[in-house]
Structure 1
């Protein structure tokens, strides 16, 4: 089977496998802490809020291009980000908010692409939304489990709008996105497809840069260790007391 016979989305995933693995490791190191801590979860939302907002505004501006063909009903996440951030940070959080430097660099790159080669934005739309439909759903379910079985940790059923797609089938949405991307790729030149694959690597590089800026993870880890140590100490005291009474 030649490269032209392989679905374009599979070619994109194969080309980004190595850098994607780095992203997964970073998410595990940084955002996994957010499973039991809302402040870290809010940090994760905050770094991606501007990126998704820009992409969705760009999709409106470029609705008559290939990018318009990549949209599907219910994909918009900006309002979900805003609702979640209102919940975690308070409704007035935008009054003192300013995007951090790494996010501004990300946005500058997106603006340059829109000005010079807007089709390249499809790499960001595809990978970021597929990320919410894949890894985002895994994180959502894990947070729900933490909230259910470890109630002494801070985690809530509210504040998860960004990963909520209503009654829509996640599998169906992923299939829709894959089909749209593959159909678009068939109308592109070999050069355009190659550029999209290379830009896909940049998606994960930029994602990694902003994920590294998530704050509070070390503090949460230390807090968990203190809680664990205290729990062990209480169990030890109780055990010794029971033994000595015999």
Structure 2
């Protein structure tokens, strides 16, 4: 990585050939050429992460211990990005560290920092980020871009599944009013998604274009203890803003520099897998839910057998 790249920053006045104009009439439009290039190059390791998440957390998500420990393993990363990257790369409205801390104060208590220490896997991750940051803020942005996009995509989906799981749990904790609010939020989000899809179709955008891909339903209610995944601003707008920054940065890299950027983007998923494996309570939560489900179904079966006698 050259010294020139190490100081590379996005310059709105000097856009590359493939970057979009901010004067575009469609405020949600963003050129996806570079995004697709990086996505294709990271597809294999990205898929491994998805498989691990689905395998380990599909049932355990509604368990508070699992959820908050999962947040803990990624908290230090977002704090590092927000401390070491300027707002021109990670806008203030994306910052999450404070929201994570409020969630921890809710679940672990206001003095949670007194007994908190990052686990070894997190320390190793941070050591790598330190090395990357010392080399180039652009390469550090490669990590940040993937992580904030993940929080605005998979993070929304996981939180949504968590909310659904807790609603379906035989000991519900949500009030009727909260459920009605969430139902209305879901309807509003569905309507917005339908309008966005219709606009994309009218513009002749192919289904394969990432811009036309359906957005996960945004978590639109900031429940206490669930702030880490809550964005008061429309997520589609935040994604467009971050992708435009990415286009500015990636568009100025030469072939060798892009290869370095892609390699660090792949490292995001490789290292995230190591963090996910340290999340505590997953097996316990899965066994607990499975055992209760078995008891519940057995009870139904016995009741039916007695009823037909």
The TM-score with structure 2 as length reference comes to 0.71
Aligned pairs for 1:191-202 within 5 A: 191-202=256-267
Q: How far does residue 183 in structure 1 lie from its aligned partner after superposition? A: 1.5
Q: Does 1:97 align with 2:123?
A: no
In structure 2, stretches of 5+ residues that fail to align are: 1-16, 19-31, 176-222
Aligned pairs for 1:193-212 within 5 A: 193-212=258-277
Q: Does 1:181 align with 2:246?
A: yes
Judged with a 3 Å threshold, the aligned counterparts in structure 2 of structure 1 residues 225 and 151 are, in CA distance, closer, same or farther, namely closer
User: The residue matched to 1:105 in structure 2 has which SS?
Assistant: helix
1:145 corresponds, among 160, 164, 175, to 164
- 2:103 is matched with 84
- The answer to whether the 8 Å contact 2:82/2:90 transfers is no
Distance 2:136 2:254 in 1: 14
In structure 1, stretches of 5+ residues that fail to align are: none
- 1:7 is matched with 33
Distance 2:47 2:240 in 1: 22
- 2:185 is matched with none
- 1:57 is matched with 83
User: The residue matched to 2:253 in structure 1 has which SS?
Assistant: coil
- The answer to whether the 8 Å contact 1:35/1:146 transfers is yes
Judged with a 3 Å threshold, the aligned counterparts in structure 2 of structure 1 residues 208 and 113 are, in CA distance, closer, same or farther, namely same
- 1:165 is matched with 231
2:43 corresponds, among 5, 17, 28, to 17
- The answer to whether the 8 Å contact 1:37/1:153 transfers is no
User: The residue matched to 1:163 in structure 2 has which SS?
Assistant: coil
User: The residue matched to 1:22 in structure 2 has which SS?
Assistant: helix
Structure in which a larger fraction of residues adopt helix: 1
- 1:129 is matched with 148
- 2:295 is matched with 230
Q: How far does residue 12 in structure 1 lie from its aligned partner after superposition? A: 1.1
1:80-121 CA deviation, whole Å, 9 max, x = no partner? 110111112222221111111110000000011111233210
1:108-141 CA deviation, whole Å, 9 max, x = no partner? 0001111123321011110000000110111122
Judged with a 3 Å threshold, the aligned counterparts in structure 2 of structure 1 residues 161 and 154 are, in CA distance, closer, same or farther, namely same
1:153-196 CA deviation, whole Å, 9 max, x = no partner? 67894211011001x11111111111110122222222222210
Q: How far does residue 152 in structure 1 lie from its aligned partner after superposition? A: 1.8
The TM-score with structure 1 as length reference comes to 0.88
2:283 corresponds, among 200, 211, 218, to 218
Distance 2:115 2:256 in 1: 44
**C-alpha RMSD of the superposition:** 2.0
